[in-house]
Amino acid sequence: MADKLAIIGAGPAGLTAALYAGRAFLEPLVFVGPSFGGQIATTTEVENFPGFPNGLQGPELTALMREQAEKFGARMVEETIEKVDFSRRPFRLWSSSREYEVEAVIVATGATPRKLGIPGEEEFIGRGVSYCATCDGFFFRDKEIMVVGGGDSAFQEGLFLTKFGRRVRIVHRRDEFRAGAVLQQRAMQNPKIEFIKSAVVERIIGNGKVSEVVLKSTKTGETWTEPVDGFFVFIGHEPNTQMFKGQLAMDDDGYLIVDKRLHTSVPGVFAAGEVHDNWFKQAITSAGFGCMAAMEAEKFLAALESERTGAAAR
């Protein structure tokens, strides 16, 4: 017999969906996947999630969300879904060890920030290296901040970081930036922002936390070091939607296309969080989307049950 609801992913979106679905007595299966908690679980300090005025650690927040969801009947499955079939109902999901059948699915697989792939980057995540200015900018008040990227996100976040940093330097591998003209003008007029063009970051250095970076000119090959306290990377995100290609509608960047109630192109499949949200990208907005998706899934399943009951009565 098929389960009622599966939630793929266990970040703020998936865990909030699990909580609401659990309270609706849907007993959802929550596939935790390879990285429980999502991106926020790698954040050392979370100070902008409502209800925690003193802040808390990212892993602590997601652990509390999990505990609350399990309290109301969500079933955590320590497996990664590797393949899905949404062509017929019940939907089929496969992990490495078994097949599952479910009546409805909430996709909450999130997105992954593109990384530079340089020495020191992984080592200093949460200790100077960040991919979210809104999350971590506050920790670098009156500090040296460096932003890597040349598009709108790099300029938007760089401008935001001037609220905190003593100086913000934007590093780009080319001579020209890809950001919109208005954003470039605003950045160039901001006395706190400086630009390092035609350069790439070769290595991040520190002792417990970031202290400096090694830069390399893309024109001459010359290398040099710069002092840095906060190192922010904004070279885009990759939505974790690869296994849904050909089954769910996506935009040109791979984000799932949803309507205002988070319905995907397949009835009974919903999406929540950064798997479709390419704008806000915050834990609290992902949690809100998780709530919405679970409420819609509950309505869908109730309507499905009503149809079956009516058909049986006839």
What are the residue numbers of the active site?
132, 135-136
* 289/141 Cα distance (integer angstroms): 31
Give 230's strand partners: 145
3-state secondary structure of 90: coil
Give 84's strand partners: 93
CA 160 to chain centre: 19
Alpha carbon distances (Å) from 168 to 104, 140, 211, 232: 46, 11, 15, 10
* 169/145 Cα distance (integer angstroms): 6
Query: How is residue 13 annotated by DSSP?
Result: H
In contact, 93 and 84? CB cutoff 8 Å: yes
3-state secondary structure of 30: strand
Do the strands 3-8 and 99-107 form a parallel or antiparallel pair, or are they unpaired? parallel
* 105/260 Cα distance (integer angstroms): 17
Do the strands 210-217 and 223-227 form a parallel or antiparallel pair, or are they unpaired? antiparallel
How many other β-carbons are positioned within 10 Å of the β-carbon of residue 26? 25
* 196/184 Cα distance (integer angstroms): 14
* 8/274 Cα distance (integer angstroms): 13
Omega prior to 59 cis, within 30 of 0: no
> Edge-to-edge, what's the strand order for the sheet holding 223-227?
199-206, 210-217, 223-227
